[in-house]
Amino acid sequence: MINLISLKFTEQTIKAVVIQTSFWILFIVYELLAVYYHIGSLEGPLIYIVYYAINITLFYACLNLLSYTLEGTRVNYFKGVAAYFALLIFFLIIKAIADHLLGNPQPATNDPYIYIKQFLPRNLTRAVYFTLLAIFYCSAKYVTQYKRKALEAEKRQLIVEKNNAALEAQLSKSRNAYLQQQINPHMLFNALNFVYNSTQKYSDDAAQCIWLLSEIMRFSLEEADQDGKIKLGREVEQIDNLIAINRYRFKEPLHLNLQRAGDFASYKIIPLILLTLTENVFKHGNLTEVNSPAVLKLTVDENGLLTFYSRNLKKSKNEHPRIRKAVGLQNIRLRLDAFYRSGYQLKIDDPGDFYELTLTLQL
């Protein structure tokens, strides 16, 4: 749209002038051809120049009036309507003057209002016609601007979400890499191998415990796939190793009801989540009571929904372990948020002497 109030001849404005001038030339040619086809003749060039100049001026005046009314800080339709009627009256007066100077027939002495009677309906029709053109043009402009802004906003949102996802993935990888690189793996496993061989001479149980520990350490230092995940079956294997280690550690028998069901080989998960939750059962739970055994259930259904449930008798109150447990769970939540967003639910119940935890995760 050409702003008649503050016209600035920028490159974009010049382009708009060329496009709209071309449109008006085609529009005038079309109307003149239609008049010539129905009447068979045309008036003099001066008449068409004057009348089209008045009509086109009305079009741009309506366009600027619509923009002023709609783009203001407060939309005031009453003022807009009042201004339009004033503009319409002014337009009809200008057309009446043009009709008087250029019109035909000449005024009769017995009817001085012949131009009003003959030309007012035509002038009013043309005013409404060019007003509707301005309304349609303004509507098309606002619809185009709205769609463009909506697409730009959607594009910006997608870029932000993509950047956030990339940053979260990179942060999770950095955290895992930091944990993995704190100890030199080569040195660690050489030392464990030496301890295993030396201990095996004196105690098979101790040697077996060392071997299980080395398997868990090896797993914790394994590099995940490109998506930051490992095979679920490997994590479940380490749960078995962790349970076996704890059975070696304690002199008293541990009472644990372990239940597993599902196809663990077909799915993947981010590492150390289930292993850490299982470790909390041994670290903070009392598994020595035969009448209150701990419960550990791990299932995967046919839709890939993983459910991890644990229930254990609490140990005696100890503030320090409680703080450490809270930190561990907080780190687990951070990692689950980064990888699974709303695709998981971690629920913790603390009823009386028992502690329950349920993790449901869509793999």
DSSP assignment of 226-287 equals TTS-EEHHHHHHHHHHHHHHHHHH-SSPP-EEEEEES-GGG-EE-TTHHHHHHHHHHHHEE-
Predicted confidence at residue 190, as pLDDT, reads 67
Predicted confidence at residue 1, as pLDDT, reads 46
Total structural domains within the chain: 2
Predicted confidence at residue 99, as pLDDT, reads 78
Q: Mark whether 329 and 239 lie in a shared domain.
A: yes
Q: Does any domain span residue 214?
A: no
* Cα separation, 288 vs 316, whole angstroms: 13
**Residue 359 φ then ψ, to 5°:** -115, 120
Q: Does any domain span residue 4?
A: no
Sorting pLDDT into bands at 50, 70 and 90, what band is 310? very high
**CATH number of domain containing 316:** 3.30.565.10
**What is the domain range of residue 155?**
11-160
Is the model's pLDDT at 300 over the cut of 90?
A: yes
Q: Which of 116, 131, 160 is the last residue of a domain?
A: 160
Q: Does any domain span residue 243?
A: yes
Is the model's pLDDT at 145 over the cut of 90?
A: no
Predicted confidence at residue 116, as pLDDT, reads 62
Q: Which of 115, 138, 160 is the last residue of a domain?
A: 160
Alpha helices in the chain, H assignment, sequence order:
11-39, 45-70, 77-102, 114-180, 185-200, 204-220, 232-249, 273-284, 319-340
Is the model's pLDDT at 306 over the cut of 80?
A: yes
Residues linked to residue 311 through DSSP beta bridges, in sequence order = 295, 356
Percent of the chain with pLDDT over 70: 82
Q: Does any domain span residue 88?
A: yes
Predicted confidence at residue 14, as pLDDT, reads 82
Torsion over CA: 24, 30, 34, 40 (sign): positive
Is the model's pLDDT at 89 over the cut of 80?
A: yes
pTM over 0.75: no
What pLDDT digit, counting tens, does each position of 1-26 carry? Answer: 444 444 455 777 788 788 888 888 88
* Cα separation, 95 vs 111, whole angstroms: 19
Sorting pLDDT into bands at 50, 70 and 90, what band is 111? low
Which of these ranges, 116-120, 157-161, 336-340, has the smallest mean pLDDT? 116-120
Q: Mark whether 346 and 234 lie in a shared domain.
A: yes
pLDDT, average across residues 70-86: 74
Q: Does any domain span residue 297?
A: yes
Predicted confidence at residue 319, as pLDDT, reads 45
